[in-house]
Structure 1
Amino acid sequence: MNKKFTKYAAVGLVSAMAFAGVGPSLVSAKAAADSPEVSSASQVEADVEVTLQEMSELEKILEEDGVTEADMITYGNYVKTQVSQKDGEFSVQWKGAVIKKAVKFMVDHADIIPSKSLRNFVEKNGNKIIRAIDTAETYTWYGLHKAFSAVGIPDKYADALADFIVKYLL
């Protein structure tokens, strides 16, 4: 009786292992046959283009105020120059401490911000902006946005400020 049980157990085990190896591929083949047509590469590219063409909050604000990208580049370079004069060479590896100084400089000199909407916001909420920069964990777009939101800055301006710092200061 023990030999029969061993044979049945071995056959059952081999069958289970065989089905476990082949079963998922059969199921996925069936699902693929039943699923609607997969998106073509050109459709995926078109979807990506639509996503990329959406304007950021910073771009929307600049467009409303009639500020060009060249104006913002000039302003970003001015901020970098002012901060680097005080701290020495301005390099790619400066991040943390120098971003804090650059943002504090921008808050202290809000009257020279090219965009009227951003200027008014920075003048009213400079303390929140500085508090957010002091508590930022990372200096990526997401990290900055998270810090701005945490201190109560509305999403529109948190997006715009994070965009400006990442695009024109980093």
Structure 2
Amino acid sequence: SFEFTCPLRFCALSLNLMFPRAELLYTRCYCEENIYQLCRWVKATKENVLGDLTVVFISNPLRRIPIWEQSSSVEGNFLIWDYHVILVHFKDEVDESLVYDFDTRLAFPTPIKKYVWLSFRPDLLLNEQFERYFRLIPAKDFLSHFASDRSHMVC
């Protein structure tokens, strides 16, 4: 049994990071651009928290990563992405860390423990070809250096 000890309303209010999701730019299949736009929005409206945010790229050498609870998947099943990008607000207390994923069925934001448990299913032993690699980039650096030409996209 896995417990989620941080009620979402408490986490989001204590972090003052409730983003108006409906007002944020979103383009299906362009997770890195969606996260870039979210970082831009944070910089413009809540710049004092930008330094606490980390952009997380998830992939592997074979470009096959399973993620559960994705809005494009059949409910209860996983979706195989070549890569995926999320935004994490890491806090000293892990229970207060939040994940912002535009493509999840879970809440926006979701407490990190809940997100990891339901989206990455650490309870399952995956074939080596599906191991996930994570690259963490401070949101400030991501904003300074992000570039995408979409040539890699197949959606």
The TM-score range, normalised by the shorter chain, is 0.3 to 0.5
Work out which of the two has the higher radius of gyration on C-alpha atoms and give 1 or 2.
1
Q: Which has the higher contact order (CA 8 A, sep 6+)?
A: 2
The alignment's TM-score, normalised by the length of structure 2, stands at 0.33
